[in-house]
Every structure is written in C-alpha cells, then in structure tokens.
Amino acid sequence: MKNAALFLLLILMASCKESKTKLRYLPDSNANLNHLTVVMPEKSWNGSLGEKTRALLETPYEGLPFDEPQFTLKYLPPSVFTGFARNSRNVLWFVKDSTARFQMIENLMAKPQLVAKVTGEDDEVQAYFLEDNISLLRATLTEKERIEKLRRIKKSPAKELDLQKRFQISLVYPTAYKTVKDTINFVWIQKEIPKGHMNLIAYALPESGLRGNVKKRILEIRDSIGKIYVPGRLKKSFMITEKAYRPFIYKTQKEGRLTYITKGTWEVANDFMAGPFVNYMIRDELKKRWMVIEGFTFAPASSKRDQMFELNTIIDAVVFE
C-alpha cells in the first residue's frame, strides 16, 4: 500500500513539474524585421570572428539598386545580454564551451524567437561552425521574418476585393494600400510613404505568352505593360526595365505551379525616376493563363530593403481561388 501511495505521489509530482514547464511564461519578443542581435565578447567582435560574422550575414539583399545588407546586425557583449535584451526576436549567441556545435532553438527566452547558439573552445572553431551552417541559418531567419511580417499585416488587412473580382486571386496587404487603377486586365494598388510610394500591380497573360526565350519575353512583357499602364510624371514617360542592371531571374515552383521570379531595377523612359521591383509570373493551368503580380517601390530618400521585403512577402502569399 505504501509503495502504491509513493508511486502515485511521484506521478503527481512529475505531472506538476511537467505542467509548470508547459506553462512557463515567456515575454513577447521585440525587434525590427530583418534585425539580428549578435552576442559575443568584444574582443571577438573586433577580431576575426566578428569579421566573419559580418561577412556571412551582411550580404547584399538581392535586387536593389544599391547594396543594403540582408540582415541588420546589432552587437551586444555578454555582460549586457540580460533582462530586456534577451527578448530580441532573432539572436546569434556565441558561447565558449568544450563542446563544439551549432544549435537553433525556438522560443528560448521570448516568443516568437529564434536563437542560433554557436559553441566551441575558441573563435576559430566557432567561426567554422557558423560558416558550415550559414545557409541553414539564413534560410531559417528569412522564413521566420516572412511569417512575422505576414502576422503583422494580418492585424489590419485591407478589405478591398478588386483582385478577387478581376482575377480570382487574393492577396493580404495592409489597409494603407489603395487601388489607384482597375481596368479589364490590370489592377494597380499603391501605398503612400514619405517622399514616395510602394506599388502592387497584377495582370493576366495567355498561356502562350511566354513561348520562346523566356527571360527575354519576361522583360519584353514588363516593358510593354509599363508603356500602356504605368506612366511617369512627364508626358510620354513610362516605366521600363533598367538596361544598366541585369535582373535576377529564377525558375521555381509555387504551390505546384511553375513560377518565374524576376528581381531587378525599373526606370522611367523620358524621366528621372527609378527603383527596385520583384515580378512573379505564375502559371495557372486551370485557367490556362499566366498570372503576373509585381511589386515596385519609389523612395529616393530612403533605404529600400524593408519596402521590397514587404512587397515580396505579400506577393509570395498569393492564394488562387
């Protein structure tokens, strides 16, 4: 009887311990999008380990007219990595330890949070494990930030149904975006920002629209659409693909649909305007068409990484109805 009671008591204690673990309070994380807190000794940050970290994570964001880092790094020495500082949404934490390894831990000190922990006996070992896992870290950070951006957008999404009515697709974008043009086969949605604007345009092409040299056709189609639908500020000016910069063009799959993603720079013929764009051409076999959705921004006085990240995130989440 005593043994049975003792066994029951142990089970109850274990259950209580498990419940407390499950109910562990985690504060909300904080930080701007695409920001990463890096924790290591100051000597390491000013030495080869810090140099390697910056080289691996401050690579240029693709498709911008001027280089901007994919991630903004915020350095913290271990002595101040306490309290509120531990609530950063993305953390790269270097710790001296006899066990050398790379770990990614979710919701360790806050939520949502990703902590990449690199351990090793010295800076050289830690640098090796960071470099060996950098592709995984970059891809994971990018996906986590995409999810976080969508979460923020969905807090106050626009209620406009122009895209659903016109093309039977839906995009989730903030209420700050407003439709400025809606024709038979073209919808233009715009968001005003300080000294500029961010834009989404959508149109459909027949299935035969990309026959021939696909890369050449994509740019030809962009330029023809710009000439018809996207005028510049001056008479006879219109948007075209900038010739001085060769765009990046990728062939991929999106929800099982063949997709071409193009990132580059646009300019206005007969005017002095330019900026980055991202163009998705998605094959819709059910409706025998190519659905084209593009985002572009004009903001000459500001950095454009976060603007293009927002547009890319919105387009990437398109739903076909």
Model pLDDT, residue 16: 52
> Which residue(s) pair with 280 in the sheet?
261, 293
In the prediction, which pLDDT does 1 show? Answer: 45
% of the chain exceeding 70 in pLDDT: 93
| Average model confidence (pLDDT) across the chain | 92
- CATH of the domain spanning 25-153, picked from 3.30.379, 3.40.50, 1.10.10, 1.20.120: 3.30.379
What angle do helix axes 123-132 and 48-57 make, rounded to 10 degrees? Answer: 10
Please tell me if the domain spanning 25-153 has the same topology as the one spanning 162-320. no
Can you give the residue ranges of every domain in the chain?
Answer: 25-153, 162-320
8 A C-beta contact, residue 113 and residue 32: no
Packing angle between helix 48-57 and helix 134-153, nearest 10 degrees? 50
H or E stretch at 51: helix 48-57
Residue 115 β-bridge partners: 91, 105
- The CATH H-level (homologous superfamily) assignment of domain 162-320 is Mog1/PsbP, alpha/beta/alpha sandwich (3.40.1000.10)
pTM, two decimals, is 0.89
Categorize the per-residue pLDDT at 271 as very low, low, confident or very high, splitting at 50, 70 and 90: confident
pLDDT at 18 over 70: no
What does the block give as tokens for 157? 């999404």
